[in-house]
A and B are shown apart, each in its own frame.
Chain A
C-alpha cells in the first residue's frame, strides 16, 4: 500500500511543478556605458551634478499617502510633521454616462501654484454625483465657502491642501484626492510654504 502511494506521489510529482528559488545573478548589460576610465568618470560626474541640481532647496513638502503624514522641510531640515488625510483611491462612476473619477492623491512632484485665504470650493460634478444628485444647472449653487477651511494651497488640476470640518477623520484615507490638514497645521503650512514650493507625494 505504501509502495503504491509513494508510486502515485512520484508520478504526480513528475508532472507537478513547485516553486524554486535562484540567486539574483546578473551580468553587466552590454549596452551599458562603455569607454575609458577618464570618459566614464566625466560622464558620471556630469550625471551626478545634474541629479544634484534636481534636489529641492528652500521650503518643500513631503506627503506620505500611506501613513497620511505631511512633512514640512526647509533645506533638508524637518520643521514639522502633520497628520493629514489623503485620497481614498475609490472610483466613482456616473450612472448616466459611465464617466469615472479616481479619488487618488497624485503621486510624484507638484508645485504650489497659488495660495488663498478663505478659499471657496467650486464643487465639480462628482461632488454631486457621489451624493446621488444631478449637478445643478445654476453655477452659483456649486460654491461652498466653508468646507476648505481658512487656507488653501493649490497644486494644480484641482488638488488642494486645505482644512476640514471633520477633524476626526484626519490620519485616514477619506478625501477625493486633496490633502486635508487640521487648523493649526494648515496655518503653519500656509505661512511657511511659498508659492512655487515643491511638494513630493508618494
Chain B
C-alpha cells in the first residue's frame, strides 16, 4: 500500500486494534494460545489507548508503522527496512545485544519540538493609535474586506531526521539508508578518521532506523515530539 497516496484505509480496515486479535480469536476457538509477548503487547497497547493521545506502533516483522489513537489506526506507513545502525570502527566484530520486546519507548527530544519557526514583533504599538479603522500593513483574516493574506511560508519537513528515545537509542527516520557496502564503509571510516585527527569527529548515537518513502518520512516529522510513545511489537 502506498499510504502516501491513499487517503485512508477502508472502513473495515480502519479499525485496526492489532494483529493480536487474530490470536485472541483462536484462543476462543480452543486452538493455538497466544504467546506471552503477544498478550504483553496487547496490554501495552491498551494502556496507551486509554489516553487520548497519539501513539505509534512499530511492527518490525510486518515492516509497518501505524499512527494510532484509541486503538484506531489513522495512518499506516510501509517500511522499506528496519535496521539497527551503529557508528562503529570499520572492523568491529561486536554486534548490539537484541532488544527485549515488546516495549514502549518514548521520544525525549525530537524534531517536532525543535524544528520550529519563531516570530516576535520587535515592538507593539497601541491598539487604538494606529487602530482598527486604519488598514494594517499586513492584512489579517480578522478584518473583513482587507486583501487576502499571503500564507506565512512553512518550511518543508525533511525526509531524514532523528529523534532521541528514552531507551538510549535514536529513532532515525530516513528515505535512504547510509551506504553499507565494505568499500563505502571503508571510505567513510577514512574520512571519519581524518576528521577525528582534526578534532572534528562525529559520534552519532546508535539508531533504530526506519527506511520509508520520502513523503511518508515527511509526514511523520511533526509527530516526533517529546513524550510520543512508540510501541514496538515482537515477532508474531
Chain A contact residues: helix, strand, loop or mixed: mixed
A50 neighbours in B (Cβ, 8 Å): 46
B87 neighbours in A (Cβ, 8 Å): 17-20
Contact with A along B6-42 (1 / 0, CB 8 A): 0110011011011011011001100001111111101
- Measured as residues with beta carbon below 8 angstroms from the partner, the interface class of chain A is 35 or more
Report yes or no: B126 in contact with A134, Cβ–Cβ below 8 A: yes
Report yes or no: B69 in contact with A16, Cβ–Cβ below 8 A: no
A75 neighbours in B (Cβ, 8 Å): 11
Of chain B, the residue at the smallest CB distance from A12 is B193
15 more A-B residue pairs beyond the given contacts A26-B98, A64-B74, A107-B223, with a C-beta to C-beta distance below 8 A: A9-B190, A13-B186, A16-B192, A22-B84, A29-B102, A33-B43, A44-B24, A47-B45, A76-B14, A91-B116, A95-B122, A133-B124, A133-B126, A165-B144, A202-B223
Report yes or no: A134 in contact with B192, Cβ–Cβ below 8 A: no
Q: Give Cα A6–Cα B28 distance, bound, in whole angstroms.
A: 66
A15 neighbours in B (Cβ, 8 Å): 193, 196-197
A22 with B86, Cβ < 8 A, contacts A29-B102, A48-B21, A73-B11 known: yes
B46 neighbours in A (Cβ, 8 Å): 47, 50-51
Verify if B234 is at the interface (C-beta below 8 Å from A): yes
B124 neighbours in A (Cβ, 8 Å): 95-96, 128-129, 132-134
Verify if B121 is at the interface (C-beta below 8 Å from A): yes
Verify if B177 is at the interface (C-beta below 8 Å from A): yes
Of chain B, the residue at the smallest CB distance from A69 is B7
Verify if B199 is at the interface (C-beta below 8 Å from A): no
Report yes or no: B125 in contact with A202, Cβ–Cβ below 8 A: no
CB within 8 Å: A-B pair count:
318
Q: Contact check: which of B24, B69, B119, B204 meets A202 at CB < 8 Å? A: B69
Interface of A with B (CB < 8 Å)? 9, 11-35, 37-38, 40-41, 43-45, 47-48, 50-52, 54-56, 62, 64-67, 69, 71, 73, 75-78, 81, 88-96, 102, 107-110, 121, 123, 127-137, 141, 144, 146-147, 164-166, 168-169, 172-174, 198, 200, 202
Sorted nearest first, the 6 A-B pairs with minimum C-beta distance are A16-B193, A12-B193, A37-B33, A41-B27, A16-B192, A32-B40
Report yes or no: B52 in contact with A23, Cβ–Cβ below 8 A: no
B213 neighbours in A (Cβ, 8 Å): none
Contact with A along B168-185 (1 / 0, CB 8 A): 000000000111100001
A21 neighbours in B (Cβ, 8 Å): 83-85, 177, 180, 209
Q: Give Cα A50–Cα B82 distance, bound, in whole angstroms.
A: 30
A64 with B189, Cβ < 8 A, contacts A18-B88, A33-B36 known: no
Of chain B, the residue at the smallest CB distance from A134 is B124
Report yes or no: B39 in contact with A20, Cβ–Cβ below 8 A: no
A13 neighbours in B (Cβ, 8 Å): 90, 186, 189-190, 193
Contact with A along B93-116 (1 / 0, CB 8 A): 001101111110000000000001
Interface of B with A (CB < 8 Å)? 7-8, 11-12, 14-15, 17-18, 20-21, 23-24, 27-28, 33-40, 42-43, 45-46, 49-54, 60, 67, 69-72, 74-75, 82-90, 92, 95-96, 98-103, 116-128, 130, 132, 136, 138, 140-142, 144, 148-149, 151-152, 154, 177-180, 185-186, 188-197, 201, 204, 208-209, 218-219, 222-223, 234-235
B190 neighbours in A (Cβ, 8 Å): 9, 12-13, 16
A-B contact pairs, 29 of them (CB 8 A): A14-B90, A15-B196, A15-B197, A16-B188, A16-B191, A18-B188, A21-B83, A22-B86, A23-B84, A24-B82, A24-B208, A27-B101, A28-B37, A33-B43, A41-B28, A41-B34, A47-B39, A66-B219, A66-B222, A67-B219, A89-B117, A94-B120, A131-B136, A134-B125, A135-B127, A141-B132, A164-B141, A174-B152, A202-B67
